Structure 1
Amino acid sequence: MKSIKGIGLPDVQAVYSGPEGALWELIMGEQIHIGGFVSSMDLAGKAGIGSGMKGVDFCCCNGAGMRFLVRFQEVAQ
């Protein structure tokens, strides 16, 4: 991953919690990944993610990816 000097966690948090984050959510909803629901279901199926499994969502923005897996793939946590 490329590092940019002078940009840190507070800067990233400011973007996600500020007007830019609100705009992204307004336009794309909480599921901001390309392909939306259908693509997420396809990827989860190809990865073998299913009922009762546990996972960790890194770089999750607002956690929509993990909430998606919990709700639609019955991931335990």
Structure 2
Amino acid sequence: MSDNTSHAPTVQCPTCGGPSVFEPANAWRPFCSQRCKNIDLGAWAAEEFRVPAQTPPQDAQYGDPRTED
């Protein structure tokens, strides 16, 4: 006898670390709840998440235009 029920994968909620069902029925995926989704959105709005970037090297021939008058 075969089991035809589908089992959606469960992932870890990025905000609280709890289980979150990753399927279309979960409107907040990959988050477990609207609360966790809103916490994450607030962190982005407050610029708590940043992409690391290196400062570009100074161009010795032309100088740094940010420091010129």
Tell me: higher relative CO, structure 1 or 2? Use CA pairs within 8 A at least 6 residues apart.
1
Q: Which has the higher strand share?
A: 2
TM-score normalized by the length of structure 2: 0.28
TM-score normalized by the length of structure 1: 0.26
